[in-house]
Amino acid sequence: MKHTRLFGIETEYGCLVTEGNNARASDPIVHRVKNHLFHVQKRGLMDLHHRAHDEPPGNGGFLLNGGRLYIDMGHIEYASPECTRLSEIVAFDRAGDRLLHQCLAEMNLQEDASFIKNNIDYETGATFGSHENYLVSRDFPYTQDGLGRLVPFLVTRQIYSGAGRLGANFVPDGYILLGEAEFPKIPFQISQRSDHIVSDFYQWVQFNRAIINTRDEPLADPNRYRRIHLLMGDSNLSEFATALKIGTTALVLDLIQEGLAPDLALHSPVDALKHISRDPTRQWEIYLEDGKPISALDIQHRYLEAAKKHFSDFDEDTNWTLNAWEETLNDLAGNRENLVGKIDWVSKLWLYENFMKEEGLEWDDPWLKSLDIEYHNINPDKGLYFGMENEGRVHRRTTSDSIDSAMAAPPVETRAAGRALLIRKLVKNPAPYIINWTSVYIEGQDLPMHDPFQTYLKEAKQFLKG
């Protein structure tokens, strides 16, 4: 039986400063925006306590929408609140974009700086993460075999979740050695993160970027829940791609939970991840552990067929995901132009090819690098994705009104509702507090929130009265 899912997205933003751009030029902007959001707009509450050795008081805090915004290694990171529906996660993901740009606009900084929702800095080699979180039950098969059933799906998922990028990371003299494979220098690849993933499983995020992060940090009752933390995906601008990425991954986790996932162990997952991203033929052929060749499309179809067989008509989100998944795979096989405005890498490549044709450019023209960055600019007056949106070329999964609502109010079916109620009261009537994902302390009194599927609204109201 399919399980109720809960998920969230953490987005790290690049900050592009118009004048004097260097490795440290964005630091003052980032801190000013954070302070404006909390102190001037009063969108939430800054932490009064140390959260970790690198998160001092005032480094960030929880928001009125139940999410969290903070500074991580010099860049702003926004974590959505806990969501249960695809339209919800899309709206709250985009709410983070809008919150940041609104701060820049109110501070008259939109001509001096831009926030970029991508994953790479072409000048410094720095990377920015896009992390996905999925809550599963504690009895989820968190084993080499269980997680191994997830890896082939994640390796091949980039054919519709990739954001696309120019060139490759640090390619000397046309070639780069990555694991067991040698890849030629190419002008365009479909994923921004694939070059930076170096292992299939690893516990610590900071030291070894892996396909699956195995740290056991449920941020919920550890006796009942576990959190699947993924950091190999790209940041998506496309609402369709975001919903499809989250929806398909949640279904595959359901398959694994029920022992129904295909057994498709790959020969070398990390090399396969890079090969798919870099394959200029878009055939995406890789190898199974037994040496047999198989395409990324075939692997995705295997997972799709299993999900259709067991989960069809479970709910609206499931049906949308299954239909969108199948249509996307079919279009990738033969009608890629249908995916312009749906899949980020396809949309970006379409923009490149049209611009190069109009201007008579080659792939090595630096103008294209500027286009790549501007595709991800969250300023709706500058970002190329938003230009496509304004022209009606993109497929929407939410509305402008729902994004505005997600900036200020939490999801109504998770503990984010109770957390946000307490934050709103504290913004109006300050008192000593400590706020975490799993609990809120006010003046020494503790309200635990260990079940993410409870709203805790009744408990929060009673807590305030007490």
Which is the catalytic residue, given 27, 72, 112, 331? 72
Q: What is d(CA 337, CA 329) in angstroms, rounded to the nearest whole number?
A: 13
CB of 454 closer than 8 Å to CB of 415: yes
Residue 309 has a CB neighbour count (10 Å cut-off) of 10
User: Six-digit token pair at 415?
Assistant: 């503990």
Which one, of 235, 230, 195, 248, lies nearest residue 385 by Cα? 235
Q: What is d(CA 347, CA 273) in angstroms, rounded to the nearest whole number?
A: 21
Sign of the alpha-carbon dihedral angle for 392, 10, 377, 106: positive
If you search the block for the tokens 């890896």, which residue do you land on? 151
3-state secondary structure the chain: CCCCCCEEEEEECEEEECCCCCCCCCHHHHHHHHHHHHHHCCCEEECCCCCECCECCCCEEEECCCCEEEEECCEEEEECCCECCHHHHHHHHHHHHHHHHHHHHHCCCCCCEEEECCCECCCCCCECCEEEEEEEECCCCCCHHHHHCCHHHHHHHHHHHCCCEECCCCCHHHEEEECCEEEECCCEECCCCHHHCCEEEECCCCCCCEEEECCCCCCCCCCCEEEEEECCCCCCCCHHHHHHHHHHHHHHHHHHHCCCCCCCCECCHHHHHHHHHHCCCCCCEEEECCCCEEEHHHHHHHHHHHHHHHHCCCCHHHHHHHHHHHHHHHHHHHCHHHHCCCCHHHHHHHHHHHHHHHHCCCCCCHHHHHHHHHHCECCCCCCHHHHHHHCCCCCCCCCHHHHHHHHHCCCCCCCHHHHHHHHHHHHHCCCCEEECCCEEEECCEEEECCCCCCCCHHHHHHHHHC
Concerning whether 47 is annotated as a catalytic residue, the answer is no
DSSP β-bridge partners for residue 176: 183
Residues identified as active-site: 72
